[in-house]
């Protein structure tokens, strides 16, 4: 692939603790935010309200695209101000944000490497995530294989807080927060197929 190197270092993040994050948001141990990113008091919401609020910013455990091995969150650690910790916030990826160079580079070249942004727009479910990239040849079949019944079976024996609500509303939750993503661009699929075809056996 002849695209120039990305600015700085790219850090790939694979969270493996979706259930812990979910439960801590549910019980108020971790901040819960509304769609605008403003804090919510978990204790003031009923179970359905907490579930809806968590899903805006966190994947339903078992439904995170990160678990497919196809998706990662990208930051430019070299561009972080000294002493600052990594935060996945939209403002950092805007034209005046610390990751603006990375974001511009990815906008130009990600498809050439087979990657795309599944959460590019607000589709009424997950908020836009300009840091989250999917590798199309793995993510597309993984998404096609995931079904609400598969999730229900996996979660039924888990310690997921709010399970009654999730179970009752699973088809809607699935449609809004799992299925409602961008389609893989043909360019990303074509680039990945090309790189497979030219890889030495």
Q: How far is CA 33 from CA 30, 55, 142, in A?
A: 10, 10, 29
Residue 24 CB, nearest distance to Zn ion (Å)?
Answer: 18
Distance CA 166, CA 160 (A): 9
Nearer of residues 6 and 88 to Zn ion, judged by Cβ: 88
Beta strand 115-116 pairing with 32-33:
unpaired
Contacts (Cβ under 8 Å, ≥6 apart) of 39: 31, 32, 33
Distance CA 99, CA 74 (A): 10
Residue 135 CB, nearest distance to Zn ion (Å)?
Answer: 13
Nearer of residues 25 and 132 to Zn ion, judged by Cβ: 132
Nearer of residues 18 and 165 to Zn ion, judged by Cβ: 18
Nearer of residues 68 and 163 to Zn ion, judged by Cβ: 68
Residue 177 CB, nearest distance to Zn ion (Å)?
Answer: 13
Distance CA 121, CA 164 (A): 30
What six digits make up the tokens of 158? Answer: 């888990």
Neighbours of 200 (CB within 10 A): 3
Give the residue closest to Zn ion by C-beta. 132
Residue 47 CB, nearest distance to Zn ion (Å)?
Answer: 25
Residue 93 CB, nearest distance to Zn ion (Å)?
Answer: 13
Nearer of residues 52 and 72 to Zn ion, judged by Cβ: 72
* Binding residues for Zn ion (CB under 5 A): 73, 132
């Amino acid at each position: 692939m002849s695209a120039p190197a990305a600015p700085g270092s790219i850090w790939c993040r694979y969270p493996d603790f979706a259930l812990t994050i979910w439960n801590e948001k549910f019980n108020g141990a971790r901040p819960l935010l509304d769609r605008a990113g403003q804090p919510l008091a978990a204790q003031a919401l009923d179970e359905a309200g907490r579930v809806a609020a968590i899903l805006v910013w966190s994947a339903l455990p078992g439904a995170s695209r990160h678990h497919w091995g196809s998706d990662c969150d990208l930051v430019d650690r070299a561009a972080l101000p000294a002493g600052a910790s990594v935060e996945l916030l939209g403002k950092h990826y805007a034209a005046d944000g610390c990751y603006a160079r990375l974001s511009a580079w990815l906008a130009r070249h990600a498809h050439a490497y087979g990657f795309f942004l599944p959460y590019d727009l607000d589709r009424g479910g997950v908020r836009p995530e300009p840091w989250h990239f999917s590798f199309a040849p793995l993510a597309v079949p993984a998404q096609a294989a995931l079904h609400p019944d598969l999730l229900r079976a996996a979660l039924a024996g888990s310690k997921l807080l709010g399970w009654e609500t999730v179970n009752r509303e699973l088809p809607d939750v699935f449609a809004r927060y799992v299925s409602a993503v961008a389609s893989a661009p043909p360019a990303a699929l074509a680039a990945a197929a090309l790189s497979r075809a030219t890889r030495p056996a």
